[in-house]
Amino acid sequence: MLINKRYETTFKVANQQVVGKSIKDVFPPDIAAEFIANNQLVIESGQPLEAEEIAPLEDGIHTYLSVKFPLSDTSGNIYAVCGISTDITARAITAQAKDEVISIVSHELRTPLTSIHGALNLLANNRIKIESERGQRFIKIAAKNADRLVRLVNDILELERLESDTIVSARQQCNPMHLITIVIDTLQVLAQQAGVTLCTASQDAESQDIEINVNSDRIIQVLTNLVNNAIKFSPSGETVWIGIEKIAEPASLTPNLLLVTVKDQGCGIPADQLEAIFERFHQVRCADSPQKRGTGLGLAICRSIVLQHGGQIWAESIAGEGSRFCFTIPL
């Protein structure tokens, strides 16, 4: 009977194109059937109804919170249904993402907790002697899973804090090669234990003189995570390279970005996972290293830090030939 201007704008139709037509003439059959069913409920009950409904727009399906109520004549007879709908697509997407995160977190927490509970239960009930070789093995399993649980919880809290806080105020001028040196010194023992060599790919004078305005602790955190991953997935005897260079944005003729790269010679990353690896809880599975498992939050934390610095982070890889992780920082 009537649509308003907002309806015309949203669905890109004129009043005369809709008025006098059936819902079935305007919307696809499955969507029209839901509208008709809700309208019928209002007519039969004579009461208002609040329901979530979906409708197609140019950019895809949108979710609406619709409030429908009957219109009656002077005799009390219902002659129409009026509906007011609010687009809640963004809210619905957020709610779905929240549900997915809760589901994933629950699963990730349950795995180490189940292992810890099982090991401690066997020991507590004297089904296995603590001093026995098997008992000691179960204690180590419980301790290992407890460590993983602590890392997982810490990473979740860290990521949430990063996404809700700002780190701009904590910036200072520093030399990126100095930060790389700190990271290499910190991870040298771990690299030696894995039989991996850490090397810098930038030794020229210009690299030594570069200055960037960053939160140095956060950039060290990014570098540490990337280099640690590179060590983890590199076979013994291989080298991990860390390098920097000045580059220009596509629209610029002069260098205005610092490009930092960490290159390994590991199992590589399938092309269809190069974007997904920066999402929460996503982990690359290598056939030759199934035991190399983290919390799945490290790269998500790296992305959050780099984005807060105004940069970008991405990965390049050829499966079986290694990977190169890159991020930029404005100069």
CATH number of 166-331: 3.30.565.10
pLDDT in tens, 236-292: 999 999 999 888 887 777 778 999 999 998 888 888 888 888 887 666 655 554 445
DSSP 61-120: EEEEEEEEEEEE-TTS-EEEEEEEEEE-HHHHHHHHHHHHHHHHHHHHHHHHHHHHHHHH
Q: How do residues 198-221 score in pLDDT, each as one tens digit? A: 998 765 556 677 889 998 888 998
pLDDT one-digit tens code per residue, 157-181: 777 777 666 555 578 899 999 999 9
Quick one: fold of 96-164?
Helix Hairpins (1.10.287)
pLDDT in tens, 95-106: 766 666 666 666
Which CATH homologous superfamily contains domain 5-87?
Answer: PAS domain (3.30.450.20)
- Per-residue confidence (pLDDT) for residue 182, from 0 to 100: 92
Rounded Cα distance, 162 and 167, in Å: 8
Residues of each domain in the chain carrying CATH 1.10.287.130: 96-164
Note the pLDDT of residue 290: 44
| CATH 3.30.565.10 boundaries in the chain | 166-331
Contact criterion met (CB below 8 Å) for 179 and 215: no
pLDDT for res 114: 82
Q: Contact 299/223 with Cβ under 8 angstroms?
A: no
How much of the chain exceeds pLDDT 90, in percent? 37
Average pLDDT rounded to a whole number, residues 70-94: 89
Name which residue leads in pLDDT, 5 or 156.
5
The pLDDT value recorded for residue 291 is 46
pLDDT tier at 32, thresholds 50, 70, 90 = very high
In this structure, the chain runs to a length of 331
Share of the chain above pLDDT 70, in %: 86
